[in-house]
Amino acid sequence: MAGRTLRRLSLALLAGVLPLSAARADPSPPHHMNLPKPTPRGGDAAPFVVTGSPAADTAPTVAVIGDSVARDYAYYLARELGPRGVRIVDGALSGCPVGTLQLISRIHDRIAPLRGGACPKLVTDKQRAVVARFSPKIILWHSITEMWSIADGKGEVPSGSTEWGRRVMAQWDDTLGRITRGGARVVVILPLWYERSAPHRLDGPGPSVEKLRDLYVRWAARHQVGVVDVAPLACPGGPPCAPVRGVDFRPDTTHYDDPGGVQVAAYLRAHVPALARLAGGR
């Protein structure tokens, strides 16, 4: 029961639907359940250079876009690549997808649009600012948030359906066009299964991480988009994910903490050739 409650809370944080008071939820990002990731006083709406990486415009730049897990990747990559002269920019938004679909979350019997419906504008504004202000050479992309159903004027498009997949990939096409205007190379980090969650058949009904991972692989193959999977490190046996050699990578089932996040950042540097080249000064 405790594990189930922890996962529901972590999903609520990911979705940005836990209000800080009884008032209606606002567009402010939720707090992480585990290690707090540094965020400017004004919130996460504008892109910023992550603590631990150089601020100079002359530094080669990697931006990270997507959801709250993407913000974890930005935080740990700054610790991994910052000392090697690589600037890391947080272009992600807690509780939002990587694109402009209006998604609906279902947490604690509450049905609500993500971040009070503010995500589409927040996403486009922040991603455009990333490209205009920081000119990243590489953009890392992570979002598990597309697992939610899609709101439209007639009701909703169920997650996991054929129409859901079509709309999600169309949204990703739009996002890709927006973030590559400066010539950045894009690499998708495949979303992991929630820790301790049972596996699902790819052809089974309803939403699943399996369907989202498959969608990413098929979509990336249509474009010049790289794909990297951290599962061999953080979930080597596949779902249900569990601690690996004594390391609990995601204590709240979703977000990274020390020392797992440190290991994941080193893994990305080793397995994304473009990151390795930047870290090596090439």
Between strands 87-90 and 61-66, the pairing is: parallel
Residue-wise pLDDT for 158-213, tens only, equals 999 999 999 999 999 999 999 999 999 999 999 999 998 999 999 888 899 999 99
**Domains of the chain: total:** 1
pLDDT tens for residues 9-39?
Answer: 344 445 444 332 222 223 344 444 454 567 7
CA pair distance 1, 57, nearest whole angstrom:
49
Residue 63 and residue 91 in contact, taking contact as beta carbons nearer than 8 Å: yes
Helix/strand/coil (H/E/C) assignment for every residue in 201-231: CCCCCCCCHHHHHHHHHHHHHCCCEEEECCH
- pTM score of the predicted model: 0.88
Mean pLDDT, range 2-7, rounded to an integer: 42
In the chain, the percentage of residues whose pLDDT exceeds 90 is: 71
Q: In what order do the strands lie in the sheet with 149-152?
A: 110-113, 103-107, 149-152, 155-157
Q: Please spell the DSSP secondary structure of 64-129, one letter per residue.
A: EEESHHHHHHHHHHHHHHGGGT-EEEE---TT--SS---EEEEETTEEEEGGGGTHHHHHHHHHHH
Q: Could you give the CA distance from residue 162 to residue 158 in angstroms, rounded to a whole number?
A: 9
Q: How many CA atoms lie within 13 A of 205 on its CB side?
A: 0
The mean pLDDT of 50-57, rounded to a whole number, is 94
Joined tokens for residue 263:
């290991």
Per residue in 70-108, pLDDT tens?
Answer: 999 999 999 999 999 999 999 999 989 999 999 987 766
- Give pLDDT, residue 108: 60
What's 12's domain CATH number? 3.40.50.1110
Domain around 273? 2-279
CA dist 55 and 210 (Å) reads 38
Q: What is the DSSP letter of 258?
A: T
Rg over alpha carbons for the chain, rounded to the nearest Å, is 18
CA distance 253 to 136: 30
